[in-house]
């Protein structure tokens, strides 16, 4: 029986205002080559200056993953020639990375597992090649954008475990607010290292799989590569150390290049950047300001607000939604708040592609809608309609409900008067009801609702009609 042994290298683009070594704007989707300067174009004589914010972000990431911080740490040049890299070397941390020796716990099928973090280093991104029929263009806007690369130990043993770890990692980075973490836009990129062996034998030769742009692709690539390696070994072959590219639509991987050895990159210390010293008080301060992460927050939301774990998981999968929920829940019925957010608001976000925190529906307004609904003055349906409208337009809730005549009649005297007259006018239906025709009850509810122009609370009409029929046997 073979066992797969997996490690991942995950790049996150840091969402700093400016690039890692210059003051060019760090922004996605701008016109080609409009965010460049002599530093990020690698022109002779241009001197890099480290972006303090990027270092702070890397520090946050390291402490959130339980790492030790290296002070000093240092940058090195990794030389290779590729047209999207203007310097002809990448500035990275090959020998003394900023953070090392971390550990992350994550949940798989209700069980807690953990994996070691080998290191986190800071480095700059390359530009982008744009291939079209007319040829290839190079866009250097991304050149010099700050990245952190998080490297795990080979301590993951299945596709499910790897994806669960990656989900936890993405959640932590997004809670820290240091990256957009969008795989489809490339702000989170995953490479998988995988080998297979029999548990009583030494580790096998590993291959690296690149080009994975979704968690689904990661899972498929792991399954595919595990099977491929086992088949090669079973047929008497040898696994080559190589980099492979996975095509998720075809479900196959192909060789991209045979693996370069470390020597090929001719690493040496970057002469233009001094070693970085990180003061102990800065580390302590960063650690004490780490946010409450999703797992802890789930447990707290369940305990403090009495919501289900399933709802708490959905709510905490986005820190801003969790903040929004707590703001709403502090102002109205807490379970109803969870219910509305999980069922209505997230759907509305998907439809409109607008995050609720960017919408017109403030926490106060949602709480107001829930409050009026809980008091029975509007129906559930009206409250949904209100949420819909208030999401897109800055309406005054009460004014809108009044203007549209959406308030329900909840006055029991008004309702009982209407029921009484309906019962008098429909004595034969009342007789049917007494003789066991249940459909007669719905008819009487319908007539009462009609009399009250559909504005009565159906719950109250039902309740009172039942009571009145019972108490008034001789009607």
Residues that bind Zn ion (CB under 5 A): 22, 24, 37, 39-40
Write down the least CB distance from residue 40 to Zn ion, Å.
Answer: 3
49 or 252: CB nearest Zn ion: 49
Residue 273: CB minimum distance to Zn ion, A: 15
Q: Are 94 and 75 in contact (CB under 8 A)?
A: no
Quote the least distance from Cβ 30 to Zn ion, whole Å.
13
Nearer to Zn ion, 22 or 321 (CB): 22
CB nearer to Zn ion: pick between 42 and 371: 42
**Smaller CB separation from Zn ion, 39 or 312:** 39
How far apart CA 413 and CA 76 sit, in angstroms, is 82
Phi, psi of 220 (to 5 degrees): -65, -40
Min. distance of Cβ 399 from Zn ion in angstroms?
A: 51
Query: Which of 338, 345, 332, 410 lies closest to 371, judged by CA?
Result: 332
Rounded least distance, CB 38 to Zn ion, Å: 7
Query: Residue 35 or residue 329: which is nearer to Zn ion going by CB?
Result: 35
Q: How is 327-339 classified by DSSP, letter by letter?
A: HHHTTS-HHHHHH
Distance CA 340, CA 335 (A): 9
Smallest distance, Zn ion to C-beta of residue 52, A: 16
Q: Which residue, 31 or 133, has its beta carbon nearer to Zn ion?
A: 31
Strand pairing class (128-132; 68-69): unpaired
Tokens representing residue 429 in the block: 């239906």
Any idea which residue has 């034969």 for tokens?
428
- Taking the complex as a whole, the smallest distance from the CB of residue 188 to Zn ion amounts, in Å, to 23
Query: Six-digit token pair at 232?
Result: 């090669």
Is omega for the bond preceding 72 within 30 degrees of 0, making it cis?
A: yes
Q: How far apart are CA 362 and CA 145, in angstroms?
A: 34
What distances in angstroms separate CA 110 from CA 35, 86, 106, 107, 164, one per listed residue?
Answer: 46, 47, 10, 6, 11
Distance of closest approach, residue 390 Cβ to Zn ion, in angstroms: 43
Residue 36, phi then psi, degrees to nearest 5: -135, 155
The least CB distance from residue 144 to Zn ion, in Å, is: 5
**What does the block give as tokens for 276?**
């970085």
**Residue nearer to Zn ion on the CB measure, 24 or 386:** 24
Cβ burial, residue 261 (10 Å; 0-12/13-18/19+):
exposed
Residue 22: strand pairing partners: none
The size of the chain, in residues, is: 475
Of the pair 22, 422, the CB lying nearest Zn ion is at 22
**Rg of the Cα atoms in the chain:** 31
Alpha carbon distance 124, 92 (integer Å) = 7
Q: Which is nearer to Zn ion, 144 or 155 (CB)?
A: 144
């Amino acid at each position: 029986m073979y066992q797969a042994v997996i490690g991942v290298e995950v790049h996150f683009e840091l969402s700093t205002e400016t690039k890692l070594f210059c003051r060019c704007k760090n922004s996605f989707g701008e016109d080609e080559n409009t965010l460049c300067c002599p530093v990020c174009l690698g022109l002779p004589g241009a001197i890099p200056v480290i972006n303090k914010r990027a270092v702070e972000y890397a520090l946050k990431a390291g402490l959130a993953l339980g790492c030790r911080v290296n002070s000093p740490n240092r940058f090195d040049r990794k030389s290779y020639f590729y047209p999207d890299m203007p310097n002809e070397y990448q500035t990275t941390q090959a020998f003394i990375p900023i953070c090392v020796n971390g550990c992350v716990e994550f949940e798989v099928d209700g069980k807690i597992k953990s994996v070691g973090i080998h290191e986190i280093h800071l480095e700059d991104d390359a530009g982008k090649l744009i291939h079209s029929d007319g040829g290839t263009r190079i866009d250097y806007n991304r050149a010099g954008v700050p990245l952190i690369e998080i490297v795990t130990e080979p301590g993951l043993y299945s596709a499910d475990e790897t994806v669960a770890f990656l989900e936890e990692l993405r959640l932590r980075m997004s809670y820290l607010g240091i990256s957009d973490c969008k795989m489809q836009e490339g702000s989170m990129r995953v490479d998988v290292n995988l080998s297979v062996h029999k548990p009583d034998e030494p580790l096998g030769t590993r291959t690296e799989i690149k080009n994975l742009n979704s968690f689904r692709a990661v899972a498929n690539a792991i399954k595919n590569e595990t099977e491929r390696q086992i088949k090669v070994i079973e047929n008497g072959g040898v696994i080559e150390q190589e980099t492979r590219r996975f095509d998720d639509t075809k479900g196959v991987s192909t060789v991209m290049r045979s693996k370069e050895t470390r020597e090929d990159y001719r690493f040496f210390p970057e002469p233009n950047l001094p070693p970085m010293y990180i003061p102990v008080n800065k580390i302590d301060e960063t650690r004490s300001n780490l946010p409450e992460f999703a797992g802890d927050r789930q447990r707290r939301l369940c305990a403090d607000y009495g919501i289900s774990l399933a709802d708490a998981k959905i709510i905490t999968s986005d820190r801003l939604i969790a903040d929004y929920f707590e703001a709403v829940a502090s102002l109205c019925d807490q379970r109803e708040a969870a219910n509305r957010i999980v069922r209505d608001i997230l759907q509305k976000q998907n439809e409109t592609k607008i995050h609720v925190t960017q919408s017109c529906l403030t926490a106060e307004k949602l709480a107001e809608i829930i409050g009026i609904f809980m008091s029975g003055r509007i129906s559930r349906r009206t409250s949904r309609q209100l949420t819909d409208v208030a999401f897109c337009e800055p309406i005054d809730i009460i004014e809108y409900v009044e203007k549209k005549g959406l308030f329900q009649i909840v006055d029991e005297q008004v309702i009982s008067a209407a029921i009484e007259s309906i019962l008098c006018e429909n004595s034969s239906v009342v007789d049917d009801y007494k003789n066991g025709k249940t459909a007669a009850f719905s008819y009487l509810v319908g007539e009462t609702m009609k009399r009250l122009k559909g504005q009565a609370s159906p719950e109250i009409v039902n309740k009172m009609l039942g009571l009145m029929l019972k108490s008034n046997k001789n009607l």
